[in-house]
């Protein structure tokens, strides 16, 4: 088990991808009016890319077109004091090709938020990192 300087287990890229494939909610970090913004979104992993469905007039659709964004998922058990986190950094783009949009509309991705969601944001992961914390990492860090 490889640990970082904080004593957290470093997850492999494959482990991170597996976690990205099973989670459904994440947080996208983008720039809005020159400031960082964080928005929870449901998403889907499609051919290695993250796909988010939003409204074309949303601040996410406006701000995350052809820009670098971060995306984070996590899961924690406060009773057991265990958990993991995966962070993706990549370029976000709005899907504009009609064939791509038709393919994305066929995916089982329905927004949890109310209202019309007529725009797809596709994030191509360039950096993928993950950490796990908990009892196993606590005992490994102690030795």
pLDDT along the chain (143 residues), means of 10: 90 97 96 94 96 93 90 96 97 97 95 88 98 70 49
Quote the radius of gyration of the chain (alpha carbons, Å): 17
What pLDDT shows up at residue 111?
83
Q: What is the pLDDT of residue 105?
A: 96
Which 3 state secondary structure label does DSSP give 36?
A: strand
Q: Where are the beta strands (DSSP E) in 95-140?
A: 119-133
pLDDT of res. 130: 98
Predicted model pTM = 0.89
Q: For residue 39, what is the enclosing H or E element?
A: strand 35-46
pLDDT in the model for residue 64: 82
Q: What is the model's pLDDT at position 136?
A: 57
Query: What pLDDT does 28 receive?
Result: 97
Domains parsed from the chain with CATH numbers: 9-131 (2.30.110.10)
Counting DSSP H helices and E strands in the chain, the numbers are: 4, 7
Distance CA 38, CA 78 (A): 23
């Amino acid at each position: 088990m490889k640990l970082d300087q904080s004593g957290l287990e470093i997850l492999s890229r494959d482990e991170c991808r597996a976690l990205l494939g099973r989670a459904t909610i994440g947080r996208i970090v983008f720039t809005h009016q020159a400031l960082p913004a964080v928005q929870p979104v449901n998403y889907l992993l499609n051919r290695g890319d993250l796909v988010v469905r939003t409204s074309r007039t949303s601040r996410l659709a406006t701000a995350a077109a052809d820009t670098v964004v971060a995306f984070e998922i996590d899961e924690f058990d406060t009773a057991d004091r265990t958990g993991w986190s995966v962070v993706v950094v990549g370029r976000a783009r709005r899907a504009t090709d009609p064939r791509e949009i038709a393919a994305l509309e066929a995916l089982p991705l329905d927004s949890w938020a109310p209202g019309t969601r007529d725009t797809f944001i596709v994030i191509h992961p360039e950096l993928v990192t993950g950490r796990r914390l908990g009892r196993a990492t606590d005992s490994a860090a102690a030795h």
